[in-house]
Structure 1
Amino acid sequence: MRFSTKSRSLTGIAAAVVVLSVGAAGCGDIVEEAKSGVKKAARTRSVFSLDTGDCYNPSSGKTEGEEVSVEIVPCDEAHEGQVVGGFKIEGETAYPGDDGAAAIAEKRCPAESLTYVSDTWAVPEGVSLFYYYPTAASWATGDRSVSCTYAKESGTFSGSLKNESLNADQLAYLKGANNLYEILWANQPEDSDVEKDFDGYKKQAGEVATALDAHITSLKAIDQPETAKLRGELEKAAEAWADAAAAKDTDSFYVAYDVAFTGIDPNKTVAARTELKLATTVPADDAEVWAG
């Protein structure tokens, strides 16, 4: 999703006011339509002024493409998206291009969103992470903002995605688990062939092993049987990731990696999540990865 630099048109407001004056002459249906139009216009906000927590409907009706404005709605009403984080692009003297700006947003938004949505498993089915980022034209006017949002490409959802009232055990689990999978995907080698990027795969394995060690340490503070059982399984996985990172050849790497990757299958965390009263439905994307 991209920003557009065009100013928000007042056509919607003007049209609503005109229709309202016509309806005042006695057409009830037109009056109601006009009221609806005025209400929507009053809720319209520029994409440059979105705040974390805002629930919205794109004015264009599309979740992807250039967007000028959105309709801000109460989160208990049906909506297509919610802003869950944001940041400003720094360190770039020139516009990085659409692909470059999108890459920056794609890299940072998953981590930014976790501050607001700690348990991504609780996100409704069909709702995915999107982002608004600057276009070349808006960059020229000083726009550096990226808004990270969860949105539904088809249909709507209701309610805020913010995870509230999480206890210490839940927060400890989620912090370690979120970091683990974020590290896994953030360090994904570009080449699917291990032989062509052996060092890249070993680097990923080392980063995941370190993240797993931190996750395991945090789980030790949770005195729950299923969580303790999961910790034991993750300790085995951590050893396998460390072996993969230290592999001298690709054959040794493959042997260790098979155990390592299987060891962090999200399906194996469901019992602990149930015990901790967290969401227990594995996200479709993750389920597909480990099913394959």
Structure 2
Amino acid sequence: MFPSPPVSGFAIASLVCSLVCLAPLGLVFGIIALVRTSRRGERGKGLAVAGVAVSGAVLVLAFLTLVGALRFSAWSSGSPAGPVRGDRGRSVFALETGDCFTPATEPTQDNQGAIRNGAAERLSCEEPHRGEIYGRFELTGRKAFPGTEEVMKASRDRCGPLLPDYAVDLTAHGPLQTYFSHPDRAGWERGGRTVLCWAGAPRGDLDEPIRKEESAFAPVQLAYVSAFRPLWEAQLRPPQRGPEEDLATASRWAGQMAAADAEAARLLGDARGGLPGDVREPAGEIVVVFEAAVPRWERAVRAADSDAYLAAIEQAGRDNDLAVGLDAEIRKGVGLPVPRSAAAGSGEGV
């Protein structure tokens, strides 16, 4: 009798990380495990698939996501903007930027697909709500439907940059799920061109608005949160295919992440002198974390194959736990809200 092949340690780590709010690591470990189970005969493919699925749904929009687990969930709808006849509410496409709402159609398990009931109930942002519109725009320049893939790409490319302008401090709310809703072929033929960009909690409702403008921050707070913007912007432009399918695109994104880490380190280094004395040291440690990530991302840029690429980005995320605790400490010191997940990870109370 031949012994059973070993269970992939990366598969186990992927599922565990995805369940304890370390979605970025869970996603990376899951991808590595899928490669190993297919190439090395290790067991644990089911665990890896579960880890990737859970991790992909939990998008931590903050500097904590050093390994780029960000993606948008896409919904399509056949309804053009305006009221929907027969629905109690209004069409989700009638909502404006800044509106908070609960859609009649709850997100599916994979957070994608068609909206069968396009109605939405607009709510006060101070009461529990499923989503918040942070941007909307019209797709112009095409008379005929350009195809779902092109619509999704245009929607993703234009929604991404809008979020950091709308919510200056993306870390404040802990994990967020980002979505865009776009017209499908039937909606396009009826005149629908509107794309909605919105965000919600991975599970359950938001209890407060995510919108916060620069004027709401003290100078020291704004300098601190602004240091992470280069990372947020890079993470909102991840490749939509893995390195096994498209290594060239994945490598270009790794280069963007390297540049973002370098810029974030510079900005945080500049802001460090204005921070209270008791948090300057942890701020310096985060600078070191960012600087250490740069050559790791650069190794991913030069990777000859997907295995080398995945090994490089795994290294880029190893300091994730340390960064969570340091950020919570600094946020408390400058009077910024500490997300529940970060406070729990650092041993702080909320």
TM-score (norm. length: structure 1):
0.68
Inter-partner Cα distance in structure 2 for 1:69 and 1:258 = 42
Answer whether contact 2:242 2:250 (CA < 8 A) is retained: no
Inter-partner Cα distance in structure 2 for 1:105 and 1:191 = 20
Which amino acid is the alignment partner of residue 136 of structure 1?
A: R
- Determine if the alignment matches structure 1 residue 57 to structure 2 residue 132: no
Q: 1:73 aligns with which of 116, 123, 126?
A: 123
User: For 1:114, what is the secondary structure of its paired residue?
Assistant: helix
CA distances 1:173-216 after superposition (whole Å, capped 9, x unpaired):
434424325424624372343xx755444323322111112111
Answer whether contact 1:63 1:152 (CA < 8 A) is retained: no
Q: 1:204 aligns with which of 246, 253, 256?
A: 253
Alignment RMSD (CA, Å): 3.5
Structure-2 residue corresponding to 1:270: 325
Q: 1:79 to 1:4 in 2, by over 3 A?
A: same
Structure-2 residue corresponding to 1:144: 193
Q: 1:5 aligns with which of 69, 79, 83?
A: 79
Answer whether contact 1:89 1:145 (CA < 8 A) is retained: yes
Unaligned runs of 5+ in 1: 13-40, 288-292
Inter-partner Cα distance in structure 2 for 1:233 and 1:212 = 9
Inter-partner Cα distance in structure 2 for 1:239 and 1:147 = 37
Q: 1:133 to 1:202 in 2, by over 3 A?
A: closer
Which amino acid is the alignment partner of residue 242 of structure 2?
A: D
Aligned length: 249
Q: How does 1:179-218 map to 2 (within 5 A)?
A: 179-184=230-235, 186-188=237-239, 190-193=241-244, 197-218=246-267
Shift of 1:52: 1.2
Structure-2 residue corresponding to 1:30: none
Shift of 1:230: 0.9
Q: 1:267 to 1:119 in 2, by over 3 A?
A: farther
CA distances 1:68-98 after superposition (whole Å, capped 9, x unpaired):
3322122223322221222222454532334
Which amino acid is the alignment partner of residue 100 of structure 2?
A: C
Structure-1 residue corresponding to 2:167: 117
User: For 2:318, what is the secondary structure of its paired residue?
Assistant: helix
CA distances 1:88-146 after superposition (whole Å, capped 9, x unpaired):
22454532334443343344434322222233333366x52222211223323443211
Q: 1:249 to 1:174 in 2, by over 3 A?
A: same
Q: 1:281 to 1:118 in 2, by over 3 A?
A: farther
- Which range moves more in the overlay, 44-53 or 180-189? 180-189
Structure-2 residue corresponding to 1:235: 291
TM-score (norm. length: structure 2):
0.58
Answer whether contact 1:128 1:150 (CA < 8 A) is retained: yes
Which amino acid is the alignment partner of residue 286 of structure 2?
A: L
Bigger Rg, structure 1 or 2: 1
Q: 1:207 to 1:86 in 2, by over 3 A?
A: same
User: For 2:165, what is the secondary structure of its paired residue?
Assistant: coil
Shift of 1:54: 0.6
User: For 2:228, what is the secondary structure of its paired residue?
Assistant: helix
User: For 1:77, what is the secondary structure of its paired residue?
Assistant: coil
Q: How does 1:90-105 map to 2 (within 5 A)?
A: 90-105=140-155
User: For 1:94, what is the secondary structure of its paired residue?
Assistant: coil
Answer whether contact 2:99 2:122 (CA < 8 A) is retained: yes
Unaligned runs of 5+ in 2: 1-74, 109-114, 274-279, 346-350
Q: 1:249 to 1:8 in 2, by over 3 A?
A: closer
Inter-partner Cα distance in structure 2 for 1:108 and 1:203 = 19
Inter-partner Cα distance in structure 2 for 1:189 and 1:135 = 20
Answer whether contact 1:47 1:67 (CA < 8 A) is retained: no
